[in-house]
Chains A and B, each alone.
Chain A
Amino acid sequence: MAIWQPDPSFYPSPRMAAKAPEEKLAYVAAFDPDRKIPDAIAVVDVDPKSPSYSTIVGQVDMPNAGDELHHFGWNACSSCLCPNAPHPHMERRYLVVPGLRSSRLHIIDIKPDPKNPKIVKVIEPEEIAEKAGYSRLHTIHCGPEGIYVNALGNADGTAPGGIFLLDPQSFHVLGQWEMDRGTQKLAYDFWWHLGHDTMVTSEWGTPDTFENGLVPEILLGSKYGRRLHFWDLHKRKHLQEIDFGDEYQLVFELRPAHNPTKAYGFVGCVISLKDLSASIWTWYRDGNKWAVKKVIEIPAEPAEPELLPPVLQGFKAVAPLVTDIDLSMDDRFLYVSCWGTGDMIQYDVSDPFSPKETGRVRIGGIVSRASHAGAKNGALNGGPQMVEISRDGKRVYFTNSLYGAIDPQFYPEGIDGWMVKLDAGENGGIKFDENFFIDWPKGHRPHQVRLEGGDCSSDSYCYP
């Protein structure tokens, strides 16, 4: 088990990681919305020189049905090189795959055969509830104290949701991360600024308010998540809460700057109750406090009611629904998924307070149903959702499903899964790779994408 040199996929700084070799494989979480057949991690060939490019070349099925696999991650990554907690002689070898609905955690070994991963350990929800007091596992990050897992509910399936730690070698559940959670109750995403000893968490809702789909009364009552929480990463103590106000609902994906000396990041807000617009906010250090500023607003598009799902008909507009964002390794380009309108927008965020749109493509969408050169039957449904960027920033992958219970609220006829890839220009600009279109096999819908060796939302760095 012991190795003599750090894993070659660990990089001290994002600058060095951006020079990493091109990925050849992608791992994609795929789930069955009907919860009848087991979910899977699919292995996708993303090597353009390979004859099986743009196809699924392997798959590992979960042992149970109904997990609803979500934002999985690695057992170890570049943060192992951090000087304050160095343990670099680890392998990036295991995918840690959480079930959002089942609260089950799967450890999957990709080393013996990267195209044919194997499940080596399954941690049952009872063990997690007992040792950590949490359920509804959502996002995984490898970090200074091991593997961090966040959960949207406590052991009883209510608030508070939070984070727990997993031993990166034995995969034992170590227990709840928070020592003083202050005012935090709801959970969604989390990440950190290693250079500023700060954890940031965002909010969705308690499991009873989303497991059967979004509840209109809760949304219109502004009772879903709308806050950011800032924590002392090492004292594990809540420091500050920022409330976006009752206009803003569903404050979701967090993308702190990769450069650890920078104290800012981006968060997407799915919907404004005022005009259905979506927004991107920059959080930043202001004196000795954190502050936020809205830097992008994406308006809703007027649409004929008969083209809209019941939930939007009264508004006569299609909401952009920004459900995922991702930041390139050089902190220069922010990609924004508009799952409602079908846009994937690229912004130059070199100045984090003044983003400039540099590229936009459209595919799927509630009204537009835009197609792709590689699609056989034209009108695509679903829209840009989980997005992942290669470490060199040249390739962008995304899939089209959000969450089993919410998909039919916005796409009532169901979602036919697809995965696509964009090529990004050196100085901005995006276009579809016409040779990359995966018509996802029926029975599953694709969700989170992870790239072999790491990507732009998997690793964090201690050196600039």
Chain B
Amino acid sequence: MTISVSPWLALVGLGAFHGLNPAMGWLFAVALGLHRQSRRIVWLSLIPIALGHMISIAAVVIGVVLLGLIVDQRMLEVAAGVVLLGWAAYHATYGHRHRVRIGMTTGMMGLGFWSFLMATAHGAGLMLVPVVIPLCLTASPEKELTTAGSLPIALAAISTHMTAMLVVILVIATCVYEWFGLSFLRRGWINFDLIWVAALAIIGLVLIV
């Protein structure tokens, strides 16, 4: 069995990318820490945020892998690509218009649910599809998606992604809470939504082409 390094690096990179986006939770953790005047709250909040994100991603990745057992790989890639493009279009058009269900008084469960909703609405799991499919393929000697070969790899992929995300949100949340302060948001908060839409669209195209 040969495992190439690059898909794992890609997973780490995507985890870092998701973590960087203030809409994926580090900013919420900082805000809760400021409200409750507690560094501990900043760090504790990151746990449900990472878990909610992971559950959303796991649902998508495992769904795709299971679908791969019955659907031809090429068809799967094209379908996933089309969904990604659709998601990009949806996000560009209606991304600003979601119901707000969780506010500043939320508990840890609510925060996890919020993170799950944000990751799902942003199509975070979909971004991992082009990395996970080849990874699961290389894991099986026959280059076919099998339950036995794919699921452990898929789970490892999800954990890798989550670990990278958690490290990044921990570093940013700590830096902003402890040193930078919030004023840097005014200029430093670049338009992640646009980058996100572009990422969804590019990954969608890569899958189709």
Q: Contact between B35 and A464 (Cβ–Cβ < 8 Å)?
A: yes
Who on chain A is nearest to B31 by CB? A83
Residues 6-31 of B, flagged 1 when their CB comes within 8 A of A and 0 if not, give 00000000000000001100011011
Q: Which residues of B contact A12 (CB under 8 A)?
A: 182-183, 185-186
**Segment touching B, from A63-71, A115-123, A194-202, A345-353:** A194-202
Residue in A169, A195, A463 whose beta carbon sits within 8 Å of that of B182 in the complex: A463
A10 to B183, CA, bound (A): 10
Q: Does B134 contact A (CB under 8 A)?
A: no
A82 to B185, CA, bound (A): 11
Q: How far is the CB of B9 from chain A (nearest CB, A)?
A: 28
Q: Contact between B105 and A197 (Cβ–Cβ < 8 Å)?
A: yes
Q: Does B148 contact A (CB under 8 A)?
A: no
Residues 76-118 of B, flagged 1 when their CB comes within 8 A of A and 0 if not, give 0000000000000000000111111111111000000010000
A287 to B80, CA, bound (A): 51
Q: Does A299 contact B (CB under 8 A)?
A: no
**Segment touching B, from A1-9, A54-62, A247-255:** A1-9
Q: How far is the CB of B11 from chain A (nearest CB, A)?
A: 25
Q: How far is the CB of B188 from chain A (nearest CB, A)?
A: 8
Q: Contact between A84 and B114 (Cβ–Cβ < 8 Å)?
A: yes
Q: Contact between B27 and A168 (Cβ–Cβ < 8 Å)?
A: no
Q: Which residues of A contact B97 (CB under 8 A)?
A: 146, 167, 169
Q: Does A462 contact B (CB under 8 A)?
A: yes
Who on chain A is nearest to B186 by CB? A6
Contacts A6-B185, A12-B183 known; A197 to B103 CB distance under 8 Å?
yes
Q: Contact between A197 and B189 (Cβ–Cβ < 8 Å)?
A: no
Q: Which residues of A contact B194 (CB under 8 A)?
A: 2, 4, 89
Q: Does B34 contact A (CB under 8 A)?
A: yes
Who on chain B is nearest to A464 by CB? B34
Q: How far is the CB of A427 from chain B (nearest CB, A)?
A: 25
Q: Does A81 contact B (CB under 8 A)?
A: yes
Q: Which residues of B contact A260 (CB under 8 A)?
A: 35, 104
A167 to B188, CA, bound (A): 26
Residue in A86, A194, A197 whose beta carbon sits within 8 Å of that of B23 in the complex: A86
Q: Contact between B27 and A196 (Cβ–Cβ < 8 Å)?
A: no
Q: How large is the interface on A (under 10, 10 to 19, 20 to 34, 35 or more residues)?
A: 35 or more
Q: Which residues of B contact A85 (CB under 8 A)?
A: 98, 100
Interface centre among B96, B101, B105, by most A CB within 10 Å? B96
- State the majority secondary structure of interface residues on A: loop
Q: Does A52 contact B (CB under 8 A)?
A: no
CB proximity to B under 8 Å, residues A163-220: 167-169, 194-197
Who on chain A is nearest to B92 by CB? A2
Q: Contact between B183 and A16 (Cβ–Cβ < 8 Å)?
A: yes
Q: Does A150 contact B (CB under 8 A)?
A: no
Q: Does B44 contact A (CB under 8 A)?
A: no
Q: Does A344 contact B (CB under 8 A)?
A: no
A140 to B104, CA, bound (A): 22
Q: Does B190 contact A (CB under 8 A)?
A: yes
A233 to B28, CA, bound (A): 17
Q: Contact between B30 and A83 (Cβ–Cβ < 8 Å)?
A: yes
Residue in A16, A87, A146, A194 whose beta carbon sits within 8 Å of that of B95 in the complex: A87
Q: Contact between A83 and B22 (Cβ–Cβ < 8 Å)?
A: yes
Residue in A8, A84, A88 whose beta carbon sits within 8 Å of that of B104 in the complex: A84
Q: Contact between A16 and B182 (Cβ–Cβ < 8 Å)?
A: yes
Q: Contact between B101 and A234 (Cβ–Cβ < 8 Å)?
A: yes
Q: Does B143 contact A (CB under 8 A)?
A: no
Q: Contact between A463 and B34 (Cβ–Cβ < 8 Å)?
A: yes
Who on chain A is nearest to B188 by CB? A5
CB proximity to B under 8 Å, residues A1-47: 2-6, 8, 10-13, 16
Who on chain B is nearest to A145 by CB? B100
Q: How far is the CB of B142 from chain A (nearest CB, A)?
A: 46
Contacts A16-B183, A260-B35 known; A86 to B190 CB distance under 8 Å?
no
Q: Does B2 contact A (CB under 8 A)?
A: no
Q: Does B40 contact A (CB under 8 A)?
A: no
29 contacts between A and B (CB under 8 A): A4-B194, A6-B185, A8-B186, A12-B182, A12-B183, A12-B186, A13-B182, A82-B31, A83-B27, A83-B30, A84-B114, A85-B98, A87-B193, A88-B189, A90-B96, A146-B97, A194-B103, A195-B35, A195-B104, A195-B105, A196-B104, A197-B104, A197-B105, A260-B35, A260-B104, A462-B104, A463-B31, A463-B182, A464-B34
- Which residues of A are at the interface with B, using a C-beta cutoff of 8 A? 2-6, 8, 10-13, 16, 81-90, 144-146, 167-169, 194-197, 233-234, 260-261, 462-464
Known interface pairs A145-B99, A195-B104; 16 further A-B residue pairs with C-beta atoms within 8 A, sorted by A's residue number: A8-B186, A12-B183, A13-B182, A16-B186, A81-B189, A82-B31, A83-B22, A84-B28, A84-B103, A88-B185, A89-B194, A146-B97, A196-B105, A261-B35, A462-B31, A463-B31
